[in-house]
Amino acid sequence: MSKAATGREEELKSVTVDATGVYYRELNHRVRELVDEGYREIILDGVNGQRYIGDGLVDDVTIIINGVAGNDLGAFMDGPTVIVNDNAQDGVANTMNSGKIVVRGHAGDVLGYGMRGGKVFVTGDVGYRVGIHMKSYKEQVPVIVAGGRAGDFFGEYMAGGVMVLLGLGEEPPLTGDYLGTGMHGGNIFLRGPVFEDQLGKEVRQFPLDEEDRCFLEGLLEEFAADAGMDLSGVKTDEFSKLSPFSHRPYGNMYCY
């Protein structure tokens, strides 16, 4: 949520920018200027597909996007919070290091590619190849939660972090094929059953342990608050957990 909701309203320097028809380069340049000027909440009205919003930003700011965010939203981002009050296009959180992106709508393909930390919450569906090569490092554990369903290659090459699909109002399967293929770290939680023929050959289903349930409960609470949704009907015992059974899936392919 924006910092305004956390009780720091009085110290928050907020500004609204009309992004209608503004070229992305100018818009992002303006955002950087405002950050440098000390604004800590930047509201962008009339956004309609402008790319790279929040790209490479490292400051403690909140950007609220009213409209459809364009490709590579929050790419290489390291710290800011971004709220999108509509859909987001492809490449959300590309190689993001930390921060939070909340999309109150659907998001496109390749969301969270190479993401190393921070959180991405999408209330609706996500596209193909979501969470590819997500990785955790030290205390950084990237998290993606989507309220709807996902396409093929969900969690491909995943090396760390957590991905959750809620499938609200959906029937399983919640993802396409090649689920977790090449996965060698991290965990995927899907609400409802998972079909074996969807799985990549490097992952298996494991039962949720107490730590998983505890983690999921906290995560769902945070998601519900940010998304403005009631998730009281979602129980942690409905989830399937997928994990890789080897951290070295390709260790025995070579001879010398």
Partner 1 sequence: MAGSMVTSEFLVEVDHQRCRRCKRCILNCGFGVFDFQNMTTADSSKCVACHRCVVFCPEEAITITRNPLAFKEHPSWEVDRRKAIWKQAQSSGMILTGMGNDLPWLNVFDHLLIDACQVTNPSIDPLREPMELKTFLGRKPDRLEVSADNGGFRLQTEVGNNVELAVPIMFSGMSYGSVSLNVHKSLAIAAEKLGTVMNTGEGGLHPELTPYTDHIIVQCASGRFGVHSDYLNAGVAVEIKIGQGAKPGIGGHLPGEKIGREVSGTRMIPVGTDALSPAPHHDIYSIEDLRQLIYALKEATGYKPVSVKIATVHNVAAIASGIARAGADIIYLDGFRGGTGASPAVIRDHVGIPVEIAIAVVDKQLRSEGIRNLVSIIAAGGIRSSADVAKAIALGADAVGVGTAALIALGCRLCQKCYTGNCSWGIATQRPELTDRLDPDWGAERLVNLINAWSLELKEVLGALGVNAVESLRGNRERLRALGLDSTTMDILDVKPAGR
The site for partner 1 (CB under 8 A) is made up of 25, 28, 51-52, 55-58, 71-72, 75-78, 90-91, 94-95, 97, 110, 113-114, 116, 129, 132-133, 135-137, 156-157, 159-160, 182, 184-185, 247-256
In eight-state DSSP terms, residue 69 is B
Here the tokens at position 102 are: 């909340």
Residue 96 or 220: the one with the smaller Cβ distance to partner 1 is 96
Shortest approach of partner 1 to residue 110 CB, angstroms? Answer: 5
Shortest approach of partner 1 to residue 138 CB, angstroms? Answer: 8
Shortest approach of partner 1 to residue 40 CB, angstroms? Answer: 18
d(C-alpha 181, C-alpha 198), whole Å = 9
91's CB contacts (< 8 A; 6+ apart) are: 71, 72, 73, 75, 108, 109, 110, 111, 113
d(C-alpha 110, C-alpha 94), whole Å = 8
Residue 148 or 182: the one with the smaller Cβ distance to partner 1 is 182
Shortest approach of partner 1 to residue 20 CB, angstroms? Answer: 20
Residue 113 or 239: the one with the smaller Cβ distance to partner 1 is 113
Residue 137 or 195: the one with the smaller Cβ distance to partner 1 is 137
Shortest approach of partner 1 to residue 97 CB, angstroms? Answer: 4
d(C-alpha 243, C-alpha 47), whole Å = 38
Burial profile 16-45: b = 16 or more Cβ within 10 angstroms, e = fewer: ebebeebebeebbebbeebbeeebbbbbbe
Residue 23 or 195: the one with the smaller Cβ distance to partner 1 is 23
The answer to whether residues 152 and 126 touch, using CB atoms and an 8 Å cutoff, is no
